[in-house]
């Protein structure tokens, strides 16, 4: 039920307004401006119905003080027996939602109050929608910065910068729809590690932020980081399969409040510096900012030792598929190997005549299963696959080509699409 604070120095007027409104609304009464200010902070009403002319503090002054104290403007309607238009005009100038004359008429008061609260709900709904990141349901960058800035000034706790490591590979290899699913799940996981009084938001892309009130112990940040690393990998394998080998994980940079300050922009920079330390030291862990550089060392969670970070997350089967940017790096390495160790390495280009997305996916899966674990493939555009064959002569490459063609011929999905092969030594 919505709550209305009624302010009037006349007891009879308080009783009358309460009798009219109490059937539809929760009512709180104050007999002076000073009392109204105290009740406002405790009760947090949805609307104020205030007499305009009161001793010591009039309605105008009450409205001004409450606006200064409240982060969000609460609608106020003035009551007065003054018949002049001047006071009504001044009331609207300072932001009053409405104006009603005494003696109060029940039907008019109820209708005007309902209109004010309906409008307030609509405005609040629009503001709330504007604050939300549509994909994840968390606060967006502007809103989360604003809310954390407010809470940091008067609270203690930990500001956490949270990054999803290697997320770009999800988009590159599995597509943006899968990437969106991972981001949505990650947002759910972040929500699961904070309380209802904490704040979390998405800064953009795979970067998130949270403020955890009254968190002052490193062990809590360790537990949260460990949980996120375990659960995001578990979820990714459910979505992408147990053979998913992207080194997906979570890096966290933290700054304690108020020991590292109470200004959001400064705290953000400190937490970001701590996050950078984690990124530079293998990812999948956490670091807590400290002016003492000796203590500003990243900590690894149990699921992120160096071998696990560098290696594949699960047993790999078939050829190694990577995004085009990473394939370029692998290609350069293979060129060096071929030059230094006189290895026979073949580059193969396989092109589909028709640009059908399903055909390309089918070809990609077929190649991964047909080729060796030491071979590497990537997708180039919407109808082409590049292949690197390790320790393979020209003659052997021809055998590989024929094996691929045979597999294609056996596949009902690719029989209607012309396929062109080109290969050369590197």
* Cross-strand partners of 121: none
**pLDDT, tens digit (0-9, with 9 covering 90-100), for 383-396:** 899 999 998 999 99
Residue 411 has pLDDT above 90, yes or no: no
Euclidean distance between CA atoms 161 and 72, whole angstroms: 27
**pLDDT, tens digit (0-9, with 9 covering 90-100), for 16-64:** 999 999 999 999 999 999 999 999 989 989 999 999 888 889 888 898 8
Determine the pLDDT at residue 98: 85
Determine the pLDDT at residue 253: 94
Give the chain's domains with CATH numbers: 3-130 (3.40.50.2300), 141-310 (3.30.70.270), 320-425 (3.30.70.270)
Euclidean distance between CA atoms 149 and 152, whole angstroms: 5
Determine the pLDDT at residue 244: 84
> SS3 for 15?
helix
Q: Count CB neighbours of 303 within 10 A.
A: 19
Determine the pLDDT at residue 190: 94
Whether the model clears a pTM of 0.85, i.e. scores above it, the answer is no
**Which letter does DSSP use for residue 96 in this model?**
-
Euclidean distance between CA atoms 274 and 277, whole angstroms: 5
Any idea what the Cα angle at residue 326 is, between residues 324 and 329, rounded to 5°?
115
**pLDDT, tens digit (0-9, with 9 covering 90-100), for 120-169:** 777 666 556 678 888 898 999 988 998 899 889 888 999 999 999 989 88
**pLDDT, tens digit (0-9, with 9 covering 90-100), for 339-357:** 887 888 999 999 988 877 7
Q: 159 near 254, Cβ under 8 Å?
A: yes
> Looking at residues 353-372, what average pLDDT do you find?
85
Determine the pLDDT at residue 304: 47
Contacts of 113 (CB under 8 A, 6+ apart): 4, 21, 25, 47, 49, 77
Any idea what the Cα angle at residue 250 is, between residues 241 and 333, rounded to 5°?
70
């Amino acid at each position: 039920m919505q709550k209305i604070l009624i302010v009037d120095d006349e007891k009879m007027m308080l009783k009358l307004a309460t009798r009219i409104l109490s059937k539809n609304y929760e009512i709180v009464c104050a007999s002076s401006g000073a009392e109204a200010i105290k009740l406002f902070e405790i009760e947090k009403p949805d609307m104020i119905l205030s007499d305009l002319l009161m001793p010591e503090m009039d309605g105008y002054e009450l409205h001004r003080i409450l606006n200064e104290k409240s982060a969000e403007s609460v609608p106020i309607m003035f009551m007065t027996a003054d018949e002049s238009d001047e006071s009504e005009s001044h009331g609207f100038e300072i932001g009053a939602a409405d104006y009603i004359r005494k003696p109060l008429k029940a039907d008019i008061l109820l209708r005007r109050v309902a209109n004010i609260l309906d409008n307030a709900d609509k405005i609040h709904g629009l503001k709330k929608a504007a604050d939300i990141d549509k994909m994840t349901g968390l606060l967006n960058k502007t809103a989360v910065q604003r809310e954390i800035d407010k809470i940091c000034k008067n609270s203690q706790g930990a500001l956490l910068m949270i990054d999803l490591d290697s997320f770009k590979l999800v988009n590159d290899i599995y597509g943006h729809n899968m990437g969106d699913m991972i981001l949505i799940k990650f947002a759910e996981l972040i929500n699961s590690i904070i309380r209802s009084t904490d704040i979390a938001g998405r800064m953009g892309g795979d970067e998130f932020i949270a403020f955890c009130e009254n968190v002052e112990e490193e062990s809590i940040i360790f537990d949260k980081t460990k949980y996120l690393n375990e659960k995001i990998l578990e979820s990714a394998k459910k979505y992408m399969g147990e053979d998913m080998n992207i080194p997906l994980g979570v890096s966290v940079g933290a700054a304690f409040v108020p020991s590292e300050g109470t200004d959001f922009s400064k705290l953000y920079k400190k937490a970001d510096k701590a996050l950078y330390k984690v990124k530079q030291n293998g990812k999948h862990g956490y670091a807590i900012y400290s002016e003492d550089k000796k203590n500003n060392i990243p900590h690894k969670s149990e699921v992120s030792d160096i071998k696990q970070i560098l290696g594949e997350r699960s047993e790999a089967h078939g050829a190694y598929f990577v995004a085009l940017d990473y394939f370029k790096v692998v290609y350069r390495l293979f060129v060096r190997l071929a030059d230094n160790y006189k290895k026979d390495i073949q580059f193969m280009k396989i092109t589909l005549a028709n640009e059908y997305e399903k055909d390309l996916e089918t070809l990609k899966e077929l190649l991964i299963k047909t080729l060796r674990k030491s071979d590497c493939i990537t997708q180039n555009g919407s109808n082409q696959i590049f292949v690197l064959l390790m320790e393979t002569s020209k003659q052997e490459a021809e055998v590989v080509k024929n094996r691929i063609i045979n597999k294609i011929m056996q596949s009902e999905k690719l029989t209607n699409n012309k396929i062109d092969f080109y290969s050369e030594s590197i």
